[in-house]
Amino acid sequence: MTTTTLPPQQSPAGLFANVILTKATSLGFAVYVNHMQDQPDKAILCFDGRGRLDDRNMSGEHTERNLVEVHVRAHDHNEAFNALPVIWEDVLKNVTATSTGGKIVQCISKANTIGCMGQEPQTRRWRFTQSFLIAIS
């Protein structure tokens, strides 16, 4: 099993990676932030996407929702595909006011469904992606 330790990250992708780290490593996946290495074959990449501002609330303030894109890679199609729903279930259980790196993750929600990126040309590893919106205070 691969063990990955992540330094405390201030970016939303780093915070998300810290939230999923325990479950991902228990499934045998290495977790990376903003850059995925070629090895090991089973890997998860979290990187910052383009977030959005919600409409003004009653006090006139905007809420910023940060977008985190997650890519999963593995040789086995089912293993790569099924990693995202398993990690999502774990996120739902553990996200309640998770404090990571001095920041509190308030809410994580799906921004889209799981998308297939196909196979890598040389290694034939399957890749899947999904985006998540994360609210941090």
Query: pLDDT (tens digit, 0 to 9) for every residue of the chain, 137 residues total?
Result: 344 445 555 688 888 888 899 999 999 999 999 998 999 999 999 999 877 666 666 776 666 678 999 999 999 999 999 999 999 988 887 765 555 566 666 778 898 999 999 999 999 999 999 999 887 76
Supply the pLDDT for residue 26.
94
Q: Name the domain count of the chain.
A: 1
Q: Which residues pair with 109 in a beta bridge?
A: 133
Residues 2/25, Cβ–Cβ less than 8 Å? yes
Which tokens go with 92?
């739902």
Residue 107 inside a domain? The answer is yes
Residue 32 inside a domain? The answer is yes
What's the number of CA atoms in the CB half-sphere (13 Å) around residue 114? 18
Residue 53 inside a domain? The answer is yes
Helices marked H in 4-126: 12-26, 77-94
Helices marked H in the chain: 12-26, 77-94
Residue 3 inside a domain? The answer is no
**Domain CATH number, residue 27:** 3.30.2000.10
Dihedral of alpha carbons 10, 19, 135, 105, sign: negative
pTM strictly above 0.85? no
CA-CA distance, 46 to 20, in Å (whole number)?
Answer: 10
Residue 4 inside a domain? The answer is no
Domain that holds residue 108: 12-136
Residue 2 inside a domain? The answer is no
Which tokens go with 16?
């998300």
